[in-house]
């Protein structure tokens, strides 16, 4: 089975591992922030109702 | 068990911070009680002043006992000890008088529904005088032992260590007061006290940031070049727990803020959430106590006991591992990118809410824009976490850049000012088409200026 380093090299984009890491970390953090805000406002509407 | 004092000096270090730093928080609650005209809160504050007054006894006895030990050691200057003792006696007399006035006012409360404002103002005045005296005594006190803050040989200025010695007591002692008031508020079911102690949890969380930053700078000020008697391994043991403390403070602070935000909209708290905050706060207090003890062990040999095993390897622990990992581009760049997203969230939210307060979009009520505040608060949490990680990558360089201090100062000011949006009654009642009160506009301007300062200060870091 090909290692992640081999796949990164085969694709040929410099620092692809860093780019992928940025996408994963930013997606997780922003996703959590948006989800938290959504849940808080939803809970507020439910309790207000 | 090692937190229990085994010597007069240890007891004095522990007990003396409550009548000094603690007075700030007791006064904060007392002034809030006046503003909200909450009789139960005034009464509880009088109890707090009375208890602080009683602490004059162990503070005096432990100070006297410590002095007998210290004068025999050549490290300690007799003149400095005498100056501290002289001012200390005056401050303790003022403290005892404040406590006495508070107990007398409390007795009057028992006999009548209300106490005359004169009696309450007398306690306020005496407490303010005591606080001023305690500031002088405190400064003279830590100068006795902390001779390292006079060192001019270090690459990082010793002003950081001096500020850290003062600042670290605010989130720790403040947290004790917040927890005591919070428990009292839950027992008495007093809404104003609940909101006051929740706000103090948030403020302690915010103050954790400059405390952590100054602590990092103090590490460099004490280890580069090395100072005799100060071990980097012991500092790292303190830093590891400081990191846990920051998480604990942030967790308690955010959950407390969410309740303040929720209360604004619904006019009531969630009881399970209040119970959860109590549990978080108790756990965080335990972590803070251990952090403080480890901090004390850095330069207070007198508090060490025979069973204490101090670390000796400066490369072991959480902090050196985080430093190593975040220095890799694979970890540094993602967290730096998150940091920029966080700024966008904070500034965008602060701008939208502040502009409404300043008079834009009057067709919507203030309560409508208040709903988006969690986005900004989560942005602050994101950036505290990512910022602390980034700081570890090259803390010596960041901390010595000239825009770093203004940036951290603006973070604390901007974050505390945002609390106003969830506490002000007058602002909350601003309906669609109405203008916000002038005081709210000043706060909104301060919020915008502070967060603008944070962004500019942060961006200039690598260049000036």
pLDDT digits (tens, 9 = 90+) for B181-233: 999 999 999 999 999 999 999 999 999 999 999 999 899 888 888 888 888 89
Torsion sign over Cα B254, B257, B263, B265: negative
Q: Check whether B1 has a pLDDT greater than 70.
A: no
Q: What is the distance of C-alpha B278 from the center of its chain?
A: 18
Q: Check whether B149 has a pLDDT greater than 80.
A: no
What is residue A49's predicted lDDT score, i.e. its pLDDT?
A: 65
Q: Which residues of B touch A37 (CB under 8 A)?
A: 372, 374-375, 378
Cβ B50 vs Cβ B97: under 8 Å: no
pLDDT bin (cut points 50, 70, 90) of residue B339 is very high
Residue of A nearest to B254 (CA): A36
Q: In 3D, which of B134, B131, B127 has the Cα closest to residue B84?
A: B134
Q: Which residues of B touch A29 (CB under 8 A)?
A: 338, 341, 382, 386
Q: In whole angstroms, give the CA distance from residue B336 to residue B87.
A: 48
Question: Over the stretch B290-314, which tens digit does the pLDDT of each residue have?
Answer: 999 999 888 887 777 777 788 888 8
Render B402-414 in DSSP notation, one character per residue.
Answer: TTHHHHHHHHHHH
The two tokens of residue B224 are 């580069």
Q: What is the mean pLDDT of residues B405-424?
A: 93
Residue B415 makes CB contacts below 8 A (sequence gap 6+) with B206, B380
Q: In whole angstroms, give the CA distance from residue B29 to residue B39.
A: 12
Q: How many residues does chain B have?
A: 464
Q: Which of B378, B382, B383, B422 to mutate to test the interface with A (most CBs of A within 10 A)?
A: B378
Question: Over the stretch B254-286, which tens digit does the pLDDT of each residue have?
Answer: 999 999 999 999 999 999 999 999 999 999 999
Q: Check whether B250 has a pLDDT greater than 70.
A: yes
Q: In 3D, which of B255, B307, B336, B299 has the Cα closest to residue B165?
A: B299
Q: Check whether B462 has a pLDDT greater than 70.
A: yes
Minimal C-alpha gap between A48 and chain B (Å):
6
What is residue B338's predicted lDDT score, i.e. its pLDDT?
A: 95
What is residue A2's predicted lDDT score, i.e. its pLDDT?
A: 65
Range name among B3-7, B48-52, B57-61, B117-121 with the lowest pLDDT average: B3-7
Q: CATH second-level architecture of B1-145?
A: Up-down Bundle (1.20)
Question: Over the stretch A1-49, which tens digit does the pLDDT of each residue have?
Answer: 567 777 777 777 777 888 989 999 999 999 999 999 999 999 988 887 6
Q: In whole angstroms, give the CA distance from residue B311 to residue B236.
A: 9
Cβ B211 vs Cβ B168: under 8 Å: yes
**Helix, strand or coil, per DSSP, at residue B287:** helix
Q: In whole angstroms, give the CA distance from residue B257 to residue B205.
A: 10
pLDDT bin (cut points 50, 70, 90) of residue B463 is confident
- Using CB atoms, pick whichever of B258, B261, B330 lies closest to residue A17: B330
Q: Which of A4, A25, A39, A47 to mutate to test the interface with B (most CBs of B within 10 A)?
A: A25
Q: Check whether B424 has a pLDDT greater than 80.
A: yes
Q: Check whether B108 has a pLDDT greater than 60.
A: yes
Q: In whole angstroms, give the CA distance from residue B228 to residue B353.
A: 52
Delimit the domains of chain B by residue range.
1-145, 171-301, 318-464
- CA–CA distance from B390 to each of B209, B226, B230, B340 (Å)? 14, 24, 26, 12
Q: In whole angstroms, give the CA distance from residue B39 to residue B303.
A: 42
Instruction: Test A37 with B375 for CB contact under 8 angstroms.
Output: yes
Q: In 3D, which of B130, B114, B151 has the Cα closest to residue B40?
A: B114
Residue of A nearest to B373 (CA): A37
For residue B225, cis peptide bond before it (omega within 30 degrees of 0): yes
Cβ B249 vs Cβ B188: under 8 Å: no
Residue of B nearest to A19 (CA): B334
What is residue B407's predicted lDDT score, i.e. its pLDDT?
A: 94
What is residue B113's predicted lDDT score, i.e. its pLDDT?
A: 72
Average pLDDT, chain B: 90
**Cβ-count burial of B325 within 10 angstroms (0-12 exposed, 13-18 middle, 19+ buried)?**
middle
- Using CB atoms, pick whichever of B266, B372, B378 lies closest to residue A36: B378
Instruction: Test A40 with B374 for CB contact under 8 angstroms.
Output: yes
Instruction: Test B337 with A26 for CB contact under 8 angstroms.
Output: yes
Residue with tokens 């959504």: A38
- Using CB atoms, pick whichever of B262, B331, B334 lies closest to residue A44: B262
Could you say which DSSP state residue B434 is in? P
- Using CB atoms, pick whichever of A21, A29, A47 lies closest to residue B330: A21
Residue with tokens 């009881």: B271
**Prediction ipTM score:** 0.80
Q: Which residues of B touch A25 (CB under 8 A)?
A: 334-335, 337-338
Cβ B231 vs Cβ B260: under 8 Å: no
- CA–CA distance from B379 to each of B136, B156, B281, B415 (Å)? 39, 30, 22, 11
What is residue B155's predicted lDDT score, i.e. its pLDDT?
A: 79
The percent of residues above 70 in pLDDT, for chain B, comes to: 100
What is residue B422's predicted lDDT score, i.e. its pLDDT?
A: 92
The two tokens of residue B254 are 């955010």
pTM: 0.91
């Amino acid at each position: 089975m090909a290692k992640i380093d081999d796949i990164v090299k085969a694709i040929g984009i410099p620092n692809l591992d860093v780019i992928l890491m940025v996408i994963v970390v930013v997606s997780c953090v922003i996703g959590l922030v948006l989800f938290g805000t959504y849940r808080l406002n939803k809970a507020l509407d439910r309790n207000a109702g | 068990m090692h937190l229990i004092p085994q010597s007069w000096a240890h007891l004095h270090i522990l007990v003396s911070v409550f009548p000094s730093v603690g007075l700030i928080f007791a006064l904060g609650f007392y002034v809030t009680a006046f503003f909200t005209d909450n009789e139960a809160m005034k009464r509880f504050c009088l109890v707090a002043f009375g208890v602080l007054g009683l602490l004059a006894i162990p503070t005096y006895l432990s100070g006297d006992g410590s002095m007998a030990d210290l004068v025999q050691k050549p490290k300690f200057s007799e003149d400095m000890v005498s100056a501290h003792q002289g001012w200390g006696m005056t401050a303790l007399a003022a403290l005892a008088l404040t406590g006495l006035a508070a107990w007398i006012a409390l007795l009057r409360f028992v006999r009548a529904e209300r106490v005359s404002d004169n009696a309450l103002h007398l306690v306020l005045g005496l407490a303010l005088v005591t606080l001023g005296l305690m500031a002088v005594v405190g400064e003279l006190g830590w100068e006795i032992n902390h001779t390292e803050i006079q060192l001019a040989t270090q690459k990082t200025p010793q002003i950081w260590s001096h500020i850290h010695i003062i600042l670290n007591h605010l989130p720790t002692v403040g947290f004790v007061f917040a927890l005591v008031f919070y428990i009292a508020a839950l027992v008495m079911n007093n809404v104003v006290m609940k909101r006051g102690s929740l706000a103090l949890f948030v403020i302690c969380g915010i103050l954790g940031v400059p405390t952590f930053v100054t602590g990092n700078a103090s590490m460099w000020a004490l280890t580069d070049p090395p100072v005799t008697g100060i071990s980097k391994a012991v500092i790292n043991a303190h830093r590891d727990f400081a990191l846990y403390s920051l998480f604990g403070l942030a967790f308690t602070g955010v959950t407390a803020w969410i309740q303040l935000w929720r209360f604004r909209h619904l006019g009531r708290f969630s009881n399970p959430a209040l119970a959860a905050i109590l549990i978080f706060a108790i756990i965080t207090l335990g972590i803070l106590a251990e952090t403080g003890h480890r901090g004390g062990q850095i330069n207070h040999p007198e508090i060490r006991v025979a069973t204490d095993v101090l670390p000796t390897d400066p490369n072991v622990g959480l902090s050196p591992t985080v430093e190593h990992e975040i220095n890799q581009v694979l970890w540094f760049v993602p967290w730096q990118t998150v940091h920029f997203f966080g700024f966008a969230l904070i500034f965008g939210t602060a701008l939208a809410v502040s502009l409404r307060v300043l008079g834009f979009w009057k067709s919507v009520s203030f309560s409508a824009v208040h709903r988006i505040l969690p986005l900004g608060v989560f942005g602050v949490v994101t950036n505290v976490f990512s910022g602390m990680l980034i700081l570890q990558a090259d803390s010596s360089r960041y901390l010595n850049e000239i825009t770093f201090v203004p940036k951290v100062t603006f973070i604390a000011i901007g974050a505390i000012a945002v609390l106003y949006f969830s506490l002000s009654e007058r602002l909350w009642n601003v309906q669609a088409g109405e203008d916000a009160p002038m005081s709210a506009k000043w706060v909104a301007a301060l919020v915008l200026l502070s967060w603008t300062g944070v962004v500019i200060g942060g961006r200039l870091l690598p260049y000036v």
